Structure 1
Amino acid sequence: MKKPLLVLSLIMISMIVNAQEIVLNLWEGTPPLQNDLGLEEKAVEEGIIRIENVQIPQIEVFLPSKQVRTGQAVVIFPGGGYHILAYDWEGRDFAKWLNTKGIVGIVVKYRLPDSKSLTDAKEVPLQDAQRAIRLARHYAEDWLIDPAKIGVMGFSAGGHLASTASTQYDHEVDRPKDAIDALSARPDFSILVYPVISFRDASAHSGSRRNLIGENASQELIDRFSGELNVTAETPPTFLVHAQDDGGVPIENSFLYYDALNAHNVPASLHIYPKGGHGFGFGLGKGPVAGWRDVLLDWMEDLK
């Protein structure tokens, strides 16, 4: 498949290939809805890698060996309350694990709405998420991906972004478009791990809501970014996992989204574990919740 000269130029500048790992900038030049203020990204490693103030959004693509590829790909959004990205704990580590199962893992370093460089901060994470999904489809042939088997996976606030990408995949803002924008941004399936879903008071994760839409957001904005209110019959099949003792994001978030999916006859699988807390990631050393990934793989196998 031939690529437009403009896209080839972008890739030659922004692609790093290291064995089966590829890094691509999401956008050519300054990303949309952003001013170039010379701000710098910050990455801190304290047990996990935390990234702040993303200025150059990227995808990091992990490819399994050709012999074991299933054709599935998962676009991964790390959590962090829309303030930081838990980039390895809820990103790279899962992409590498998916590789062992023959699945392409694509980690998104998306822009965070508290950056001073953004001109319409609330729109930017979704914009980056849509672009990442479209890039996965654009390179599907090169990366041996079935373009009809591209899902999203999000943790905590990243789960909110994944659910927003699953319910508002057609949402657009006024900006210059290129050939990649003609591709669908709809995920084929969605994996939501202890997700933030609702911005309504009873279930809201106040930090994520404040960072994305502000302290005194209108009811219209609160409803727009409450995933349970935006589910339709076209929302992709969804896998949800949450711990009952989650003290960070109330378990009601997963209940609300599951109920909305069920009401619209969207295939959904909800898994609740009594213990695990918030941010359990792989769940290692936390009892039965450590088995949630095996359940996920069975669900993904059934999607085929």
Structure 2
Amino acid sequence: MKKPILTLALMLLSLLTFAQNHVIPLWEGTPPLQNPSDLKEEATQQGILRIANVQTPSIEVYLPTKQIATGEAVVIFPGGGYGILAYDWEGTDFAKWLNAQGIAGIVVKYRLPISKSLTDPKEVPLMDAQRAIRLVRQNAEAWSINPSKIGVMGFSAGGHLASTVSTQYTHEVNRSKDAIDALSARPDFSILVYPVISFRDAAVHSGSRKNLIGENASQELMDRFSGELNVNAETPPTFLVHAQDDKGVPIENSLLYYQALHKNGVKASLHIYPSGGHGFGFGLGKGAVEGWRDVLLAWMKETIQ
């Protein structure tokens, strides 16, 4: 009887070790563009796990079993208006769902520009996003991931970040570099779910714009962080989904980005559902939008070669 108990204990220990080993800080020591401080991360669970004041950005890695692994990986950016992260609702829940499809899901706990410890807040989310993609490429072999099948997925303001790294993956700031920085930060595909795209007045989500670049930002800054203005022929193939009745982030955001992709000859798939509101996540119980994930999987199968 002792042997089965010992075997079970070792199995549980190995599972715990695996989980611990797969939460990986993005940076060694104090991250770039951040002052050392005694500020603490805040997490509250009120239906949704909301994380605020991130000081140690990280990736949380969920890998499928090798028997069903496709070699694809999706780096996930939860939304929250650049003020908080809806970490489970638009992060870990989707990583687990992707695992069931044989796809690795990597959730990024990125720093938020409203933190008082940051020295150049507007640059920090993009920097963390680039780093996350590079870290996945660095570990691709160990995690049974094809380094040319690494995409991004972003929700709301996380969609803005995903579109920003999709169009500004070569952007650099003055900081010390390491070997990981030599790897490409370009996503191979993008999945944008009710995304914030434009910081121009017609379609803007004012909260995201204020938190990222401030209330009185220059036109140059607003244009730089308006994804539709930065698309070119090298922008990754993109899947967009939005609800027509979204009162938080107008559908014009997805429409503008799709038009820019189409104009530049980039493969794109746009799906507008009549209802679902903002932040529908899986869309469960919200009518036709509940099927958007099946449409996404079909698109991925067709697009990712």
Provide the TM-score with structure 2 as the length reference. 0.94
For 1:51, the equivalent position in structure 2 comes to 51
1:81-125 deviation per Cα after TM superposition (whole angstroms, max 9, x unaligned): 000000000000000000000000000000000000000000000
For 1:138, the equivalent position in structure 2 comes to 138
For 2:165, the equivalent position in structure 1 comes to 165
1:253-301 deviation per Cα after TM superposition (whole angstroms, max 9, x unaligned): 0000000000000000000000000000000000010000000000111
Runs of 4+ in 1 over 2 A off after TM superposition: 16-21
For 1:189, the equivalent position in structure 2 comes to 189
Once residues 193 and 257 of structure 1 are traced to their aligned partners in structure 2, the CA distance between those partners, rounded to angstroms, is: 12
Letter in 2 for 1:106: I
For 1:104, the equivalent position in structure 2 comes to 104
1:37-84 deviation per Cα after TM superposition (whole angstroms, max 9, x unaligned): 110000000001000000000000000001110010000000000000
Letter in 2 for 1:101: Q
**Partner of 1:223: helix, strand, or coil?**
helix
Once residues 17 and 165 of structure 2 are traced to their aligned partners in structure 1, the CA distance between those partners, rounded to angstroms, is: 28
Once residues 209 and 288 of structure 1 are traced to their aligned partners in structure 2, the CA distance between those partners, rounded to angstroms, is: 30
For 1:8, the equivalent position in structure 2 comes to none
Alignment RMSD, CA only?
Answer: 1.0
Once residues 21 and 191 of structure 1 are traced to their aligned partners in structure 2, the CA distance between those partners, rounded to angstroms, is: 27
For 1:298, the equivalent position in structure 2 comes to 298
Report if the CA contact (8 A) 1:63-1:143 is conserved: yes
Report if the CA contact (8 A) 1:159-1:195 is conserved: yes
For 2:33, the equivalent position in structure 1 comes to 33
Letter in 2 for 1:175: R
Once residues 173 and 19 of structure 1 are traced to their aligned partners in structure 2, the CA distance between those partners, rounded to angstroms, is: 33
Give runs of aligned pairs for residues 263-282 of structure 1, distance below 5 A.
Answer: 263-282=263-282
Aligned residues: 289
For 1:125, the equivalent position in structure 2 comes to 125
1:22 deviation in Å?
1.0
- Structure 2 stretches lacking a partner, 5+ long: 1-15
- Structure 1 stretches lacking a partner, 5+ long: 1-15
1:15-34 deviation per Cα after TM superposition (whole angstroms, max 9, x unaligned): x8435971000000000000
Q: Is structure 2 residue 262 aligned with structure 1 residue 262?
A: yes
**Partner of 1:164: helix, strand, or coil?**
helix
For 1:6, the equivalent position in structure 2 comes to none
Letter in 1 for 2:300: M
Report if the CA contact (8 A) 1:20-1:63 is conserved: no
Report if the CA contact (8 A) 1:61-1:106 is conserved: yes
1:136-164 deviation per Cα after TM superposition (whole angstroms, max 9, x unaligned): 00000000000000000000000000000
**Partner of 2:207: helix, strand, or coil?**
helix
Once residues 211 and 294 of structure 2 are traced to their aligned partners in structure 1, the CA distance between those partners, rounded to angstroms, is: 33
1:150-179 deviation per Cα after TM superposition (whole angstroms, max 9, x unaligned): 000000000000000000000000101000
For 2:9, the equivalent position in structure 1 comes to none
Once residues 89 and 211 of structure 1 are traced to their aligned partners in structure 2, the CA distance between those partners, rounded to angstroms, is: 21
1:245 deviation in Å?
0.2
**Partner of 1:67: helix, strand, or coil?**
coil
Q: Which entry has the higher C-alpha Rg, 1 or 2?
A: 2
Once residues 213 and 204 of structure 2 are traced to their aligned partners in structure 1, the CA distance between those partners, rounded to angstroms, is: 12
Report if the CA contact (8 A) 1:60-1:106 is conserved: yes
Once residues 296 and 134 of structure 1 are traced to their aligned partners in structure 2, the CA distance between those partners, rounded to angstroms, is: 24
Report if the CA contact (8 A) 1:21-1:63 is conserved: no
Q: Percent identity?
A: 78
1:233 deviation in Å?
0.2
For 2:6, the equivalent position in structure 1 comes to none
